[in-house]
Structure 1
């Protein structure tokens, strides 16, 4: 299993790095849309659509929604904030669903509702990535969001393994603990401090306002990234499956790799917009 995870990571890492740093805007949009479409094929299974034709149909619907959104936002860019606001609102509602689980499943147990929730996850994720891509120093912003998510996950793993007795959400993900959450938070704060130091030395002076906004955006993004993982775990537990698919040997499915990122990116982009925060 470990060997499979390493080999898969060695293949995926260059693809992600190449996509982030070297793809022009249009190709990058297609790149993220492909990831979202594969994620949609997996989400259909999580939603309860087991037949392959229904999963392909759902993936096609999501791809068409992404295409329609791209065409619409190309003309009406000012509506981007509403896409991201809808995505952020979904994660607020998702917190309530996770907190109530295993109660409250009657609200979202129906397959069409779970399918609709997939749109709330995948479309804002694509819009969020595109907002970051068109921003100044786009590659740096995207890498920073990834470092926040990976930092939270890594810190949670080691601190949870060492001190994780009190469970964060025992009915949803028994492996997650409050010690893991605080360890992930501490790691994220370290990532933010290193990022601010880099920005101050290479791009612009980091004043109090910039620093406070960076801290706020980072903390909210970190919390939402944890929620993204919990929501997928909740959906899979309700569905009775361990992984979203077996596309990535040793890792499960695409959604199993991007669940935290799918939550973090649109919220990070939304906060950038409402706080008018950028790196210039």
Structure 2
């Protein structure tokens, strides 16, 4: 890649368009492949199969997070992976997964309620970076952060997929987060002036955040009309979408903060053109627990 880029620079005085096009093409192809595999698993595997598939993703995410934590040796990283999987199994036992009758949604709500409290603390750390690193900058504190990020994501996915409209609810979260990300990107590029968190992610702006929220308004309107919602459920839907979108931004910022502290650009390189798995699901690690907690606690807006 560097050789090709270098030749193009010599020829034109700037990075070659061919390199940019190749990178964009690779990113698009990988993105389409991810989407196809994800939605196939979501709608074809059933609740138990999908839950186990997400557990595998959490395991790989734990492997990447061990690197973000600064656990460099193979034994340390394997040990951390085992710890995450053990906590995952304990969480599964708490919510009675896989239950023949039904999941224990009360236990799941309790886990997610504490998760939201954790994300409130994470927000303060992101706002306070780099000074806040004195609280979480050690290797094992970052390792604990990974537990709090990854395991509740699995719990939230399991709870949602076991609801009556489970696959569609999980799809909705993914669409909301993706739409917000696209809206934030374009509105930030066009109108961005005030930085959201310059020490963590210099490219994110308040204008981009507002754009990410606004582009989801048509989705709220379409769902409200499609389900024939009354005013109460309209407000509940709007609050759910707003909380989900805002929390997705926090999930992105938290991983960016840890990567910046670690001094790396990507969490891994398993996804060509995208980086690591965590680079693709960081927004969902906060959005899924928030969406699931509101949806389950309120008995849904649908």
TM-superposed CA distance for 1:190, in Å, is 2.1
In structure 2, the partner of 1:242 is: 265
Counterpart contact for 1:49–1:55, Cα < 8 Å: yes
Residues 64-92 of structure 1: per-residue CA shift (max 9 Å, x gap): 22122212311781211111111111111
TM-superposed CA distance for 1:278, in Å, is 4.5
In structure 2, the partner of 1:65 is: 87
Instruction: Give the structure, 1 or 2, with the largest relative contact order (CA under 8 Å, sep 6 or more).
Output: 1
Rounded to whole Å, the distance in 1 between the matches of 2:64 and 2:141 is 16
Gaps of 5+ in 2: 1-22
In structure 2, the partner of 1:217 is: 240
Q: Indicate whether 1:267 and 2:290 are aligned.
A: yes
Rounded to whole Å, the distance in 2 between the matches of 1:112 and 1:236 is 15
Counterpart contact for 2:126–2:132, Cα < 8 Å: no
Give the TM-score, by structure 2 length: 0.87
What secondary structure sits across from 1:174 in the alignment? strand
Which protein shows a greater Rg?
2
In structure 2, the partner of 1:126 is: 154
Q: Indicate whether 1:90 and 2:118 are aligned.
A: yes
What secondary structure sits across from 1:120 in the alignment? helix
Rounded to whole Å, the distance in 2 between the matches of 1:164 and 1:3 is 26
TM-superposed CA distance for 1:55, in Å, is 1.9
The aligned runs of 1:1-280 (5 Å cut-off) are 1-74=23-96, 77=104, 78-198=106-226, 200=227, 205-279=228-302
Rounded to whole Å, the distance in 2 between the matches of 1:184 and 1:226 is 9
Rounded to whole Å, the distance in 2 between the matches of 1:20 and 1:94 is 29
Gaps of 5+ in 1: none
Q: How many residues align?
A: 274
Rounded to whole Å, the distance in 2 between the matches of 1:196 and 1:128 is 24
Give the TM-score, by structure 1 length: 0.94
Rounded to whole Å, the distance in 1 between the matches of 2:206 and 2:61 is 29
Counterpart contact for 1:151–1:191, Cα < 8 Å: no
Which piece of structure 1 moves more, 239-248 or 270-279?
270-279
Counterpart contact for 1:40–1:58, Cα < 8 Å: yes
